[in-house]
């Protein structure tokens, strides 16, 4: 019985959990790299022709063509830049209607060279990373330590940063690239064990347990445990929604000083600077600003689900003499209102997300255990003698 339990734990839980951890780590690094790139200057034609080699830049443009050697050519602001895709992290942002996509279905799709070269001319593309001279031409290149981030998208430039922060995490992480192989190997091992012990009358209970364990991947889909699986999926979706809201709530802190020290707006300086030198900061309000009610000031977190008692903050560029922050010239700069301190708001979202995720897994395991007990009782009742 110990061997059966060990095999089931290894192939049905441990290996998929390892794949989930690797997937989550990969997407977390993707979001971190993208956020670092948001603080880099946008490449303009004057910067390119002046010589931008050896520096890290952002680039927003359109796909022009693809050539041999895994090179894409992107154009913007009267300049065409080669993008060398070796070691690059290339993603296709999901197409969706107005607003942010469903976080359960909106993860960027990682694509390879063959798929990237098939994208049509005029496809919008974001490139972030180091510029170096290669093959006699200045272009974007990857290194082992700092791969390029290349994102193809189909939304207004001002929505790209929010959509990427919102969607930049994996989907159902248990169902990762290791899971199908792990479940198949686990089922094969347990079925072999069941067949091996079946001819021995004294070990037939062991054979029955092994056969039941081999069917464990089907338990979440069988009644009555499927009801708990449905609750698990709903709670897991809501947990992912809250983690995405956490990322959005934190996003204004990228541009403010001392953002690593607690993430509390009350301890932050009154203003920071955007990559182009524009002043950036926030204003405090006792209630929701009229502009947010009228739609002139967007809500940074969709639906402003958590309304704290600390008042509202409006983030944006700070032009001289303006009563309220305004939309910045940088399309990635966050402009909008939050119901309270962004650090505390993000912490509440994250705490609730972890609690819901833990509850979701408990319900899923309860459903699996329920179906396993029912199946065992059916087998025991039908067992001869």
- If pLDDT is split at 50, 70 and 90, which confidence band does 84 have? very high
Question: What separation in angstroms does the CA of 318 have from each of 37, 113, 328?
Answer: 22, 42, 8
Q: What Cα–Cα distance (Å) separates residue 130 from each residue in 149, 171, 205?
A: 10, 29, 63
Query: Which of 99-108, 113-122, 293-302 is the least confident region?
Result: 99-108
Which two three-digit tokens encode residue 355? 């609690």
Mean pLDDT, to the nearest integer, of 224-230?
A: 92
Q: Average pLDDT for residues 213-232, to the nearest whole number?
A: 90
Strongest mean pLDDT among 93-107, 191-205, 361-375 = 361-375
User: What domains does the chain contain, in order, with CATH numbers?
Assistant: 42-167 (2.40.50.140), 252-347 (no CATH)
Q: Examine the pLDDT at 39 and tell me if it is beyond 90.
A: yes
pLDDT band at residue 261, thresholds of 50, 70 and 90?
Answer: very low
| Cα separation, 368 vs 164, whole angstroms | 35
CA angle 55, 167, 12 (to 5 degrees): 115
The tens digit of pLDDT for each residue in 239-249 reads: 888 988 899 99
Alpha-carbon distance values, 245 to 102, 294, 330, 364 (Å): 12, 22, 22, 24
For range 318-339, the mean pLDDT: 90
**pTM higher than 0.75, yes or no?**
yes
**Nearest to 256, CA basis, from 273, 240, 242, 236:** 273
> Which pLDDT does position 305 carry in this prediction?
46
HSE toward the beta carbon, residue 200, CA cutoff 13 A: 10
């Amino acid at each position: 019985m110990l061997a059966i339990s060990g095999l089931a734990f290894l192939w049905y839980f441990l290996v998929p959990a390892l794949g989930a951890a690797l997937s989550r780590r990969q997407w977390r690094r993707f979001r971190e790299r993208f956020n670092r790139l948001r603080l880099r200057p946008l490449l303009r034609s004057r910067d390119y022709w002046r010589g931008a080699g050896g520096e890290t830049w952002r680039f927003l443009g359109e796909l022009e063509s693809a050539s041999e050697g895994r090179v894409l050519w992107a154009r913007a602001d009267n300049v065409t830049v080669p993008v060398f895709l070796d070691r690059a992290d290339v993603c296709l942002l999901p197409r969706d209607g107005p607003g942010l996509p469903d976080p359960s279905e909106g993860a960027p799709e990682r694509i390879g060279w063959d798929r990237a070269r098939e994208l049509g001319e005029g496809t919008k593309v974001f490139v972030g990373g180091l510029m170096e001279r290669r093959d006699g031409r200045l272009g974007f290149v990857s290194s082992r330590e700092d791969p390029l981030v290349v994102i193809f998208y189909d939304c207004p430039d001002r929505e790209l940063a929010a959509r990427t922060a919102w969607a930049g995490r994996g989907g159902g992480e248990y169902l990762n690239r290791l899971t199908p192989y792990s479940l198949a190997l686990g089922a094969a091992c347990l079925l072999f064990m069941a067949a091996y012990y079946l001819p021995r009358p004294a070990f037939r209970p062991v054979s029955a347990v092994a056969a039941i364990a081999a069917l464990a991947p089907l338990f979440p889909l069988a009644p009555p445990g499927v009801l708990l699986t449905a609750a698990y999926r709903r709670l897991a979706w809501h947990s992912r929604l809250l983690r995405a809201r956490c990322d959005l709530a934190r996003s204004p802190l990228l541009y403010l000083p001392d953002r690593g020290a607690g993430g509390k707006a009350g301890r932050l300086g009154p203003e920071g600077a955007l990559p182009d030198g524009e002043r950036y900061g926030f204003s405090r309000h006792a209630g929701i600003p009229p502009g947010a009610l009228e739609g002139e000031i967007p809500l940074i977190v969709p639906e402003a689900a958590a309304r704290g008692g600390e008042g509202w903050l409006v983030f944006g560029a700070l032009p001289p003499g303006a009563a309220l922050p305004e939309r910045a010239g940088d399309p990635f700069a966050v402009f909008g209102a939050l119901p309270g301190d962004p650090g505390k708001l993000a912490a509440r979202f994250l705490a609730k997300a972890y609690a819901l995720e833990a509850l979701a897994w408990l319900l899923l395991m309860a459903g699996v255990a329920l179906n396993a007990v029912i199946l065992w009782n059916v087998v025991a009742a039908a067992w001869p003698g």
